[in-house]
Amino acid sequence: MKRYIKNSIWGAMLVLAVSSCSQDLLDLSPKNDITADQVYKSEQGYKEAFLKLYGSLAMTSGGGEGASDLAGIDAGQSDFFRLYWNIQQLTSDETLCGWNDPGVPDMVYGTPDADNIMVKGLYTRTLYTITVANEFLRESTPEKLAARSISNTAAIDEYRAEARFIRAYQYWILLDLFGNPPFITEENVIGKESPKQIQRADLFKYVEQELLAIEPIIKKAKQNEYGRADQGAVWTLLTRLYLNAQVYTGTGKYTEAITYANKIINGGYALSSSYANLFLEDNYSTAKNEIIFSINYDGVKTRNFGGTTFLINSLINGEMIPTNFGVPTGGWGGNRSTKVVPQAFGDYSGNTDKRAMFFGDKLENDELGEFKDGLRVTKFKNVKSNGQPGASQGGTFSSLDFPLFRLADVYLMYAEAVLRGGTGGSTAQAVNYFNQIRTRAYGNATGNVSAITLLDILNERGRELYFEGYRRTDLIRFGRFTGSTYTWPWKGGVKDGRSIEDFRALLPLPATDVIANPNLTQNQGY
């Protein structure tokens, strides 16, 4: 299954490439001379165009590792995961990057502006994927299928449900990080007007309505091909949406979060017996019951310098022996932990909590540009659970799939929603799920607890999910991202940390888009 979807994506990425200028969303059209009628003339054409949606999450373009669908950004930095991970992690209390690449220092300080290349990159990447989804949905209506004499409409209906999910997921990213982005669907007429701006509360309603509409028609939980979205992915995104509803709309929806968390928990998923296996190259086999939705990578057929290639290489250097990480010629020495992460484990040098995976001996983060100032994180490897290396052309690229949604996160979301007052769950069950995670971490019940607080939840999320792209959103939900109540190394550009302004809980819309589109109003403070 793993190789099937990866090979299919590689072919699909070569079919259609659309312009990436976010301010011209309604004018997007193929860069090449292939028309829609040529692309969608057969069931195979529909399948290839559909798989480009998944390809847009995993790759920078269909032209190899040196090409990108996005203009104005280095190809290696233009994939979805690398951009999203950098924004979620570098602005948080977990991660420091010593590189002086454009946009990196301001992101580490938590103070990116409207010209930051990562801000522009993620904004454009999400809108690009939304545009690809819109185009597929526009071309796969019953009327278009009938006109083209496409008979296998059941398969294409499944594709449509997944396309709507991917679009909803990308709009959730914009909702979470930008708040008030431009908004288009397949109903907009191409070339007629600039995209209108949608307000955060309205975008919340749209994402919610889309996910609820998709829920009964998408493939049942655990019944789709590996790497494709199903009901479990829909339920997880709804849980995450509802858990953050207080931030997005001013009204909490914790009962709804519990409802959908319960659906996932009862949907046939189970914690992997090994935490480490979640982040090894054969996680699609050894940890498949915990992983709900993943981005799939192949270090030979779908190479790019983002994804888990970026993740693994940025966390190690030559001193750490890259061969042990399945990238023998890699090791870029960029990202490492703040002291907050290892300190959360107490005696991190021991192996009491098996999730504590670090290298190095200097805890303090005295120099931002010094890779050895802070412990290195070693939990991600392009290595199989039997110790054999994963596929890696040239010894740099990674075949490790990244779990975007997994069950342990759902357990903690359930517990948090219960503690925040949601109904339909119980404190006893919340503690039980919390302890299941800790039992796996310790290998026994010695780390179990009899009661939990909200702060316990935040701290456990840090231990369980560190460096997985959750932390900025978590800190904002817990009221610990801005202000001076909580500081960490280099927050605000100061070694010991300082307060940052409340408006920074939202990223700015890129200045170029605000200038080009008169319908857009910049987020407050920028």
For the ranges 59-63, 363-367, 494-498, the lowest mean pLDDT is seen at 59-63
Residue scoring higher pLDDT (25 or 53)? 53
Check whether 54 has a pLDDT greater than 60: yes
What is the C-alpha to C-alpha distance for residues 482 and 466, in angstroms, rounded to an integer?
19
Q: pLDDT at position 487, please?
A: 98
Q: Where are the beta strands (DSSP E) in 388-491?
A: 402-406
Per-residue pLDDT band for 16 (boundaries 50, 70, 90) equals very low
466: nearest Cα among 346, 356, 371, 386: 356
Beta-bridge partners for 360: none
Check whether 10 has a pLDDT greater than 50: no
For the ranges 42-46, 115-119, 419-423, the lowest mean pLDDT is seen at 42-46
Q: Do 400 and 280 form a contact (C-beta atoms < 8 A)?
A: yes
Q: What is the CA radius of gyration of the chain?
A: 22
Across the chain, mean pLDDT equals: 92
Q: pLDDT at position 63, please?
A: 61
φ, ψ for residue 376, nearest 5 deg: -85, 145
Distances in Å between the alpha carbon of 389 and those of 69, 75, 277? Answer: 30, 26, 14
Per-residue pLDDT band for 68 (boundaries 50, 70, 90) equals confident
What is the three-class DSSP state of 425? coil
Q: Where do the H-state alpha helices sit in 369-426? A: 407-419
Check whether 147 has a pLDDT greater than 70: yes
Check whether 264 has a pLDDT greater than 60: yes
What is the C-alpha to C-alpha distance for residues 120 and 112, in angstroms, rounded to an integer?
11
Token digits of residue 317: 């250097």
For the ranges 23-37, 59-73, 143-157, 266-280, the lowest mean pLDDT is seen at 23-37
Per-residue pLDDT band for 1 (boundaries 50, 70, 90) equals very low
Tens-digit pLDDT profile for residues 328-380: 999 999 999 999 999 999 876 666 899 999 999 999 999 999 999 999 999 99
What is the C-alpha to C-alpha distance for residues 412 and 431, in angstroms, rounded to an integer?
10
What is the C-alpha to C-alpha distance for residues 389 and 398, in angstroms, rounded to an integer?
10
Residue scoring higher pLDDT (197 or 39)? 197
Q: Do 68 and 121 form a contact (C-beta atoms < 8 A)?
A: no
Region 66-86: mean pLDDT is 88
Q: Do 368 and 98 form a contact (C-beta atoms < 8 A)?
A: yes
Check whether 12 has a pLDDT greater than 70: no
Q: pLDDT at position 2, please?
A: 54
Check whether 126 has a pLDDT greater than 70: yes
Check whether 31 has a pLDDT greater than 80: no
Q: What structural domains and CATH numbers belong to the chain?
A: 1-218+490-526 (1.25.40.390)
Beta-bridge partners for 500: 483
Using alpha carbons only, what angle is made at residue 118 by residues 115 and 121, rounded to the nearest 5 degrees? 95
352 alpha-carbon distance from chain centroid: 29
Check whether 202 has a pLDDT greater than 50: yes
Q: Do 365 and 96 form a contact (C-beta atoms < 8 A)?
A: yes
- H/E segment holding residue 203: helix 200-214
Region 428-439: mean pLDDT is 98
